[in-house]
């Protein structure tokens, strides 16, 4: 769990207030979006989490550790991808990853597995300077997860990428989350793609956290619609008809023969137990809770601040 309690941070001897009493928590195992306009305090918060900055006031706990006074212990369990990473351009991808692996005590066999996982194995002998922006982000993800961290902090991981590359990186992050079982925080102000992967959100504006929580809870709070994506092992049309009999279900879209998109009123509590029962019976192979209205939640939370 990551928790901020009334955290303040200023720059230039107090003339710039980056955080103004920020308080929030992100539970273990969440894939959280840290969302707010440019200059709202997102990058400052991530740097505070790994002890790269000193707070002025307040308390920060990362799995019970204070990153300001226990920075080594926090960094041992944390992977961090900064917004603008800088790599030595003339070295090969393999040379760079070997260097990072030696610093972290990671064997080369693990490095090759991670290179395969993030999709850069075939570029190991290439110079870093030859990589596209999308593959530079994959390299950044590789170095961030080399030690299989419990916490993964990603600052604008899709910035300056084309739409296809952004989707590829977000899909990769989702896969990494499942593979590592880590708590993941993605700092971003780009909402449409994030709603496909995150299950938790922290809204920050002008240095203040204005709301946070699981998407389904936020949707209920702001009167939005939760969206469940179901991968089914049964005939989708008959299951869709059955789902529509539930009071909470407002609509079902059959995406293909294996995927249903179910729009649910999260204020009515009959759907989650029902879909969990379907999963236990083997009729639903996998499901995730999302929302098609992340931008709506964002506008209401940020606008209300």
C-alpha distances out from residue 211 to 24, 41, 202, 303, Å: 8, 14, 6, 11
- Which pLDDT score is estimated for 304? 61
Q: For the chain, how many residues are written?
A: 305
Local confidence band at 291 (pLDDT 50, 70, 90 cut-offs): low
DSSP-derived secondary structure letter, 256: S
pLDDT at residue 217, rounded to an integer: 84
Question: Residue 176's pLDDT is what?
Answer: 84
* 16-20, 148-152, 207-211, 283-287: range with lowest mean pLDDT: 283-287
Mean pLDDT estimate for the chain: 89
Alpha carbon distance 216, 262 (integer Å): 13
Residue 228 · residue 288 · CB < 8 Å:
yes
Helix axes 108-118, 93-104, angle to 10 degrees: 130
Any idea what DSSP says for residue 127?
Answer: B
Q: Is the pLDDT of residue 77 over 90?
A: yes
* CATH code at 2-215: 3.40.50.300
Interval 213-228 mean pLDDT: 82
Could you tell me the CA-to-CA distances from 81 to 43, 104, 143, 146 in Å, in that order? Answer: 11, 15, 8, 12
Ordered by start, the domain boundaries in the chain are 2-215, 223-304
Q: Does the structure show a pLDDT above 60 at 305?
A: no
Q: Looking at the DSSP assignment, which residues form a beta bridge with residue 213?
A: 201
Structure tokens at 24: 């929030």
pLDDT tens, position by position, 162-173: 888 888 888 888
Share of the chain above pLDDT 70, in %: 98
pLDDT confidence of residue 31: 93
Per-residue model confidence as pLDDT tens digits over 99-114: 999 988 888 888 888 8
Name the band, by pLDDT with cuts 50, 70 and 90, for residue 133: confident
Q: Confidence band (pLDDT; 50, 70, 90) for 290?
A: low
Spatial distance between the Cα atoms of 275 and 277, rounded to a whole number of angstroms: 5
Task: Report how far residue 118's alpha carbon sits from residue 304's, in angstroms, rounded to the nearest whole number.
Answer: 39
CATH architecture assigned to 223-304? 2-Layer Sandwich (3.30)
Read off the pLDDT of each residue in 274-296 and give the average, rounded to a whole number: 82
Residues 142-162: what's their mean pLDDT?
89
Strand-by-strand arrangement of the 284-291 sheet: 249-254, 259-264, 226-232, 284-291
Whether 223-304 and 2-215 are alike in CATH topology: the answer is no
How high is the pLDDT of residue 166?
82
Residue 251: how many CB atoms within 10 A of its CB? 13
The Cα 16–Cα 8 span in angstroms is 11
Longest dimension (CA), the chain: 65
Mean pLDDT of 61-89: 92
For residue range 178-204, what is the model confidence (pLDDT) as tens digits?
A: 888 899 999 987 787 787 788 899 999
- The Cα–Cα gap between 51 and 222 comes to 34
Q: Residue 292 has what pLDDT?
A: 56
pLDDT tens digits, 246-265 = 998 999 999 888 899 998 88
CA dist., res. 152 & res. 179, Å (int):
12
């Amino acid at each position: 769990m990551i928790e901020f309690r009334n955290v303040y941070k200023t720059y230039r001897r107090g003339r710039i207030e980056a955080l103004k009493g920020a308080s929030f928590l992100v539970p273990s195992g969440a894939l959280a979006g840290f969302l707010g306009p440019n200059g709202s305090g997102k990058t400052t918060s991530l740097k505070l989490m790994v002890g790269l900055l000193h707070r002025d006031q307040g308390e920060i706990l990362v799995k019970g550790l204070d990153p300001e006074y226990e920075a080594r212990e926090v960094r041992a369990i944390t992977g961090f991808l900064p917004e603008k990473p800088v790599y030595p351009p003339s070295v090969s991808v393999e040379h760079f990853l070997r260097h990072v692996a030696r610093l972290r005590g990671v064997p080369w066999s693990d490095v090759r597995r991670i290179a395969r996982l993030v999709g850069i194995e075939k570029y190991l002998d290439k110079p870093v300077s030859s990589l596209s922006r999308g593959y530079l982000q994959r390299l950044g993800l590789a170095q961030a997860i080399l030690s299989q961290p419990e916490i993964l902090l990603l600052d604008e991981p899709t910035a300056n990428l084309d739409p296809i590359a952004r989707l590829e990186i977000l899909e990769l992050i989702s896969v990494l989350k499942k593979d590592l079982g880590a708590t993941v925080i993605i700092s971003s102000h780009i909402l449409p793609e994030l709603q496909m992967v995150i299950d938790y959100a922290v809204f920050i504006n002008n240095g203040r956290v204005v709301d946070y929580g699981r998407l389904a809870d936020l949707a209920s709070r702001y009167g939005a619609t939760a969206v469940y994506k179901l991968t089914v092992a049964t005939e989708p049309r008959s299951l869709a008809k059955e789902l529509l009999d539930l009071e909470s279900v407002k609509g079902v879209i059959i995406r293909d023969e294996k995927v249903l998109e179910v729009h649910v009123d999260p204020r009515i509590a009959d759907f989650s137990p029902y879909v969990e029962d379907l999963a236990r019976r083997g009729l639903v192979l996998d499901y995730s809770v999302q929302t098609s209205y992340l931008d709506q939640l964002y506008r209401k939370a940020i606008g209300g601040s």
